[in-house]
Amino acid sequence: MSYMAETNRGNPSCFLFLIDQSRSMQEGIDPSRVQQLNEPLNVDNRTYTHVAQGRTKAQGVADAINRLLHNLVLKCARSEGVRDYYHVGVIGYGANVGPAFSGLLAGKELVPISEVASSPARIEERERKTEDGAGGLVNEKVRFPIWFEPAANGGTPMCGALTGAKSILERWLSQHPGCFPPIVINITDGEATDGDPAVPAEALKALSSADGNVLLFNLHISSQNASPKVFPDREEGLPDQHARLLFRMSSTLPEYMRNFAQQEGITVSPNTRGFVFNADMVAVIGFLEIGTLASNLR
């Protein structure tokens, strides 16, 4: 079976995030989802609060990516330090296409997770809810590392981002031919402005390690007032041609991810794809957590 390779320091896995940074990402989060977004969010058994009012899509996605990077660091932390089970990259596409880490990691395409752990661009103070010992909750200050900053400018050169991802992963796979296949997660709110993204998407998914083909998942943060779709197995019910295109571009979920999604109460089938439509930020976190599971971590 594919997607069963052991992930270890000698055979790491790779995650590459493609982030839409076009001007439309400066739009505010849909007010109809404000209450949902203000619900506490549990990450690694810690409950964080986040306020949606006045926040843009770009800010919400940046929060999601930074939380995920922090969680990946925690997954790799051992008593002797952070083990390099993963190499991670963040590519932004808007006015430009290229690496989007901040601080000491700026300009780097892929970096070992230990380097991510040691090089946040800055640390913010955030609040989380914690039990007060009397049945209630109180706010507690926590340190929140930032590696990726929000940006919103220019068009949506998705084809350029997918083509760039292919070049990055070709080099990665030449050095790690037996790895658990790289996972690419594309987060966008708009239509590509530089051609048909299905063409470079298929070329990207055609890359493979000995364990299977590269996985491409798409998260569409739509401005439409349409019902969310989480891991659909058919394009019927998606509201427009662009959403249906992103669905077709998305890889089917490997069996172990389907099993995990099912445990989380999500209905899946062998045709379920790694695609989410019209997601709020809570769904973004859930999508990214499932999309970045690594099989047989050692």
pLDDT at 43 over 50: no
Q: Which pLDDT band, with edges at 50, 70 and 90, does 125 fall under?
A: confident
CATH for 96: 3.40.50.410
**Residue 4 placed within a domain:** no
pLDDT of 135 reads 78
Q: For the chain, percent helix, then strand, then coil, each to nearest 5?
A: 30, 30, 40
pLDDT of 284 reads 66
Q: In whole angstroms, give the CA distance from residue 208 to residue 257.
A: 18
What percentage of the chain reaches a pLDDT higher than 70?
85
Which of the residue ranges 113-122, 144-153, 208-217, 256-265 would you say has the lowest mean pLDDT? 256-265
**Residue 24 placed within a domain:** yes
**Residue 195 placed within a domain:** yes
For residue range 51-110, what is the model confidence (pLDDT) as tens digits? Answer: 344 478 999 899 989 988 998 898 899 999 999 999 999 999 999 999 999 999 999 999
For residue range 204-251, what is the model confidence (pLDDT) as tens digits? Answer: 999 999 999 999 999 998 777 778 888 999 999 898 899 999 999 999
**Residue 297 placed within a domain:** no
Look at the block and give the residue holding tokens 């089917």. 252
Is the Cα dihedral 293, 187, 55, 240 positive or negative?
negative
**Residue 239 placed within a domain:** yes
What is the mean predicted confidence (pLDDT) over 116-124?
Answer: 95
First CA to last CA distance, the chain: 19
**Residue 252 placed within a domain:** yes
Residue type at position 3 = Y
Q: Looking at residue 283, what DSSP letter applies?
A: H
Q: Domain limits at 76? A: 13-291
**Residue 162 placed within a domain:** yes
**Residue 113 placed within a domain:** yes
pLDDT at 30 over 90: no
For residue range 157-198, what is the model confidence (pLDDT) as tens digits? Answer: 999 999 999 999 999 999 999 999 999 999 998 799 999 999
- How many C-beta atoms lie closer than 10 Å to residue 285's C-beta? 20
Tokens representing 120? 């946040």
Indicate the number of domains in the chain: 1
Per DSSP, which regions of 236-282 are E strands?
275-277
